[in-house]
Structure 1
Amino acid sequence: MVIGTKVSRADIRDSLARAHERAAALPDLLVEAQRIANTVISGWHGRRKSGTGDNFWEFRPYVNGESLARIDWRRSARDDHTYVRDREWESAHTVWLWSDASPSMFYRSTRAPLSKEARALVLMLAMAEILSRSGERIAFPQVMRPVCARNGAERLATQLLHNAPDVTLPDLSDVQRFSEVVLFSDFLHPLDELTAFLDRLARRGVRAHLVEIADPAEETFPYTGRVEFRDPESGTILVAGRAETYADEYRRLYLARRDSLADYCTRLGWTFTIHRTDRPAASCLARLHAALSLGMSGGAWR
């Protein structure tokens, strides 16, 4: 495993094989995502102001011109005034979800129960489940337009079965101002390429939440002796006679890249969540859920 440059792949057969493998796993990943979502959902997204919603907010005097359907006749019968039953305002907004399907995401060490891509899909579908049940619109670039439906996660999984773009960074040209974007990836792109992409996103006036998916071996570099590393993006091979001699410098560069990305997100008021594939998915989802529902000011989650 090597942190390499993300490049376009010419081998169509490999791309199709990965797509078929991903499609075969999606039904099981959706079931797992729904199970995890059930442990996190807690009835969120009330906005604590008067408007359209399901929760009672307050009674107030009726104003001429308002719909008669809004009058609460039982409350009005108590005295000589006519009252309207206001409800708590809940504004459905659009959250764009994207999960990286590039070759580096297929990496899985012996220390992890599943690949980075599988965990990213589980987290994304679980987030889609929570958002859909909360009445929010969800979307996936070039796969699914914004939709508000209780079965949004199932719709998204179905679309991904038949139309999963194999790109290293998503096309977010359809994302509107004030939308939320949640990106699940290992973010092992060249930093200048990645920050250029994020700069364009920031200029669109959206708020992004980055979730970095990491295999435990990528963080700890547990290798010793003669080891052959292959970059899954470019196919470049590096043979290390004594892999342990690379460990300190590797970890320094790996963490420096992560810190740079976290600092970048903090400056923009975005959130940056780190999740290792050997740790429970629910804990990461709860943090992301909090970032979306509470309107955090940004920062890096560790």
Structure 2
Amino acid sequence: MASIGQIVDQTASSDVLHRAQQRAMLVPDCMVEAKRIANTVIAGWHGRRKRGMGENFWQFRPYAEGESLSRIDWRRSARDDHTYVRDREWEAAHTIWLWADMSPSMMYKSTFGSVSKESRALVIMLALAEILARSGERIGCPGIMEPVSARNAAERLATAIMHAPQATGLPDTGMIRGQSDIVLIGDFLDDADKVMDRITPLGRRGLRGHVIEVADPAEETFPYTGRTEFTDPETGEKLVSGRAENIREDYQRAYLARRDALGEGLRRLGWSFVFHRTDRLASEALVAVHGYLSGMPAPRRVETGRMEERS
């Protein structure tokens, strides 16, 4: 007769296998969608262009106070009443690490969301890999794939994800060396202080970071009424509310406070923060993070979804 411990181990192994099979079935469809979105977004773009050390002219832009006067293009400035500087294009290949949370909470999808959080996170990551690979960048995924510079980097990343072991929490980044960018995509529902405790050391090591928080609309708006049972997908813990609408205001206040605290912590670290809801277009988050990777200054927070107003 099997012991209780053996039964638990067998059940856990079965759950892990089932989870791996679910992910393996999901990734190919996400790759197709990612390519479609990448082709749409990249139309008219010419790589991940940004200013820096290089020989090729990129653009004229208005002079900003504090910049060196030697950068001013006086001939262009003489054409009108504005002062312009000449930017050159950064030419060195860069390493960008992409990571998407595959923990159980990411599987959530309400009737208000078009896809699960996991599906949307994978599409954004693979579409970004597709665009960056076409620009000649080196693409890697912490703990899953070493950086590669290849046109098929997105397909290689998708294959690596299909065969990756189950993991929870933020990735191990010990393998990342030198100046790189890292894009983290997940729901980040832990306390903001706990998330920042993991992220802050990365910033101190010189990594330029970009965080995309993916949320289902129901997680933000809390549309529940009456007797409702809530289950934590990570622990299985249950909470029953007799009248869910009575806790909506407190829930939304706590939810927004956590998100604002995370965004503020990332801003202080010099990282960008994009909030994205699954009822919005994936291309919105893709365009936002691509802009930051191209050197656009990060504002306090970018949202590609918003809290719905209630009367």
8 Å CA contact retained: 1:270, 1:298: no
8 Å CA contact retained: 2:191, 2:258: no
CA distance in structure 2 between the partners assigned to 1:164 and 1:117 by the alignment: 16
CA distance in structure 2 between the partners assigned to 1:236 and 1:228 by the alignment: 10
After TM superposition, give the deviation of residue 299 of structure 1 in Å: 2.9
1:252 aligns with 2:253: yes
1:157 aligns with 2:162: no
Correspondence for 2:122: 121
CA distance in structure 1 between the partners assigned to 2:18 and 2:195 by the alignment: 27
Correspondence for 1:207: 208
CA distance in structure 1 between the partners assigned to 2:53 and 2:285 by the alignment: 32
Q: Which residues of 2 match residues 160-171 of structure 1 at below 5 A?
A: 160-171=161-172
What's the TM-score once normalised by structure 1's chain length? 0.82
For structure 1, which runs of at least 5 residues remain unmatched after alignment? 1-9, 58-86
Correspondence for 2:295: 294
After TM superposition, give the deviation of residue 152 of structure 1 in Å: 0.6
- Superposition RMSD in Å: 1.9
Computing the radius of gyration from Cα coordinates, the structure with the larger value is: 1
* Cα displacement string for residues 225-255 of structure 1 (whole angstroms, at most 9, x for unaligned residues): 0000000011110111100011000000000
1:136 aligns with 2:129: no
CA distance in structure 1 between the partners assigned to 2:134 and 2:140 by the alignment: 14
8 Å CA contact retained: 2:48, 2:293: no
Q: 1:48 to 1:110 in 2, by over 3 A?
A: closer
- One-letter amino acid of the counterpart of residue 48, structure 2: H
- One-letter amino acid of the counterpart of residue 44, structure 1: G
8 Å CA contact retained: 1:220, 1:251: yes
Detail structure 1 runs of 4+ shifted over 6 Å in the superposition.
none
Correspondence for 2:286: 285
- Paired residues, number: 262
CA distance in structure 2 between the partners assigned to 1:120 and 1:259 by the alignment: 21
Correspondence for 2:62: none
SS at structure 1 position matched to 2:280: coil
SS at structure 2 position matched to 1:296: coil
The answer to which structure, 1 or 2, has the higher relative contact order (CA under 8 A, 6+ apart) is 1
* Cα displacement string for residues 119-148 of structure 1 (whole angstroms, at most 9, x for unaligned residues): 000000000001100110010011110101
Correspondence for 1:83: none
After TM superposition, give the deviation of residue 191 of structure 1 in Å: 2.9
CA distance in structure 2 between the partners assigned to 1:229 and 1:56 by the alignment: 56
Q: 1:164 to 1:125 in 2, by over 3 A?
A: farther
SS at structure 1 position matched to 2:294: helix
Correspondence for 1:220: 221
SS at structure 2 position matched to 1:111: coil
* Cα displacement string for residues 257-296 of structure 1 (whole angstroms, at most 9, x for unaligned residues): 0000000111111100010001111111111111111342
8 Å CA contact retained: 1:143, 1:165: no
What's the TM-score once normalised by structure 2's chain length? 0.80
8 Å CA contact retained: 1:268, 1:298: no
Correspondence for 1:261: 262
After TM superposition, give the deviation of residue 166 of structure 1 in Å: 1.8
Correspondence for 2:179: 178
CA distance in structure 2 between the partners assigned to 1:104 and 1:28 by the alignment: 20
CA distance in structure 2 between the partners assigned to 1:291 and 1:35 by the alignment: 22
- One-letter amino acid of the counterpart of residue 237, structure 1: K
